[in-house]
Homo-oligomer: A and B are copies of this chain.
Amino acid sequence: MSEIVRRVAERIRNLEIQGARNIAMAAISVLAEAAESSKARNREGFLRELLEAKEILFNTRETEPLMRNALRKILFEVKESRLTDPRELAGLVSSLSREFIKGLEASNRRIAEYGSKRIRSGYRVLTHCHSSTVVGILRRAREEGKDFEVLCTESRPRYQGRITARELLEEGIRTTMIVDSAVRNFMKTVDLVLVGADAITSEGNVVNKIGTSMIALVAYEARIPFYVASELLKFSPQTTYGEYEKIEERSGEEVWKDAPPGLIIRNPAFDVTRRDYIHGIICEEGIISPHTILEVVRRRYPWVLAVD
């Protein structure tokens, strides 16, 4: 299977495929495709190939719990099944893959529905970076006829805030942009902060685009509600077992192309926001307290906590 998988893995690594949901879908789609093309002669051979493929995909990026959980789900069900015929196993992978994608879409719709209820006409909503989940909520609120506006940061060094701005303007949402460091200056004019998540830890902390934790602190200082919109499957199970969620550090060139020699540039892609600064996580089950994330995942997706 590995050749087919490797091609997609490469595209994930090169950022040709971006966004947690897109990456997860690409990974399990290619896994299904690879499974179909497997030449394995028995269950053992098939499983071996599947695990290999999983490893390749796991190694593309450090902070991709959604993709990893998607792969975990498929592996878990395949192992649980008693099937021995590689054909039938491949069929199982395919159907699990389709089902998972459908599940993601349903989660997304529900998050948009629940999140939209938090937005009232007249509100100013602050967001950071670009999150398709957050844009989904704002779009839905707009479709429901709510009259609100959005304040978005530019999100250095890659300016993802510009993508957010463009998408919101297309929806006809009144949008204002500020530099990242101006957030405290405008916080008092904000009614709600809404950000996405790259990963959620067992303690209920949220890993998201660098700057998020600073915004959360500023919102907390001014008593402004701070919500994270995220599928539960952004949960990172290894954190339960003590590991620190890894924080990708990117090239300094993103920050300053022609930096003078000798200058060190540090460019972490994410930071960690403590549960105490988060009012709620808007997920497919509704709005939950971040403190309970581990119990919620354990109840709803128990296979996530099975060891890899």
Contact = CB atoms under 8 A, between A and B. Distances in A.
Give the number of copies in the complex: 6
A266 B166 CA distance: 16
A279 to B, nearest CB: 6
A203 B227 CA distance: 11
Nearest to A269: B182
Interface of A: 113-118, 120, 153-157, 162, 165-166, 169, 174-186, 188, 202-204, 210-211, 213-215, 217-218, 221-223, 239-244, 252, 255-256, 259-260, 262-268, 271, 275-276, 279-280, 282, 285-289, 291-292, 294-296, 298-299
A116 B242 contact: yes
Nearest to A203: B280
Contact of A117 (B116, B154, B244): B244
Contacts of A292: 289, 291-292, 294-295
Given A262-B169, A295-B292, A295-B295, A271 B214 contact: no
A255 B159 CA distance: 11
Contacts of A178: 255, 265-267
Contact of A211 (B182, B266, B267): B182
Given A115-B242, A241-B286, 17 more contacts: A114-B242, A157-B179, A162-B256, A165-B260, A169-B263, A176-B264, A177-B264, A179-B180, A180-B180, A180-B211, A184-B217, A214-B214, A222-B222, A242-B286, A242-B287, A289-B294, A298-B299
- By Cβ-Cβ distance, the 8 closest A-B pairs, closest first, are A181-B211, A117-B242, A240-B286, A114-B242, A180-B181, A176-B264, A291-B291, A184-B214
A256 B169 CA distance: 15
6 contacts: A154-B156, A176-B265, A241-B286, A291-B291, A292-B295, A295-B299
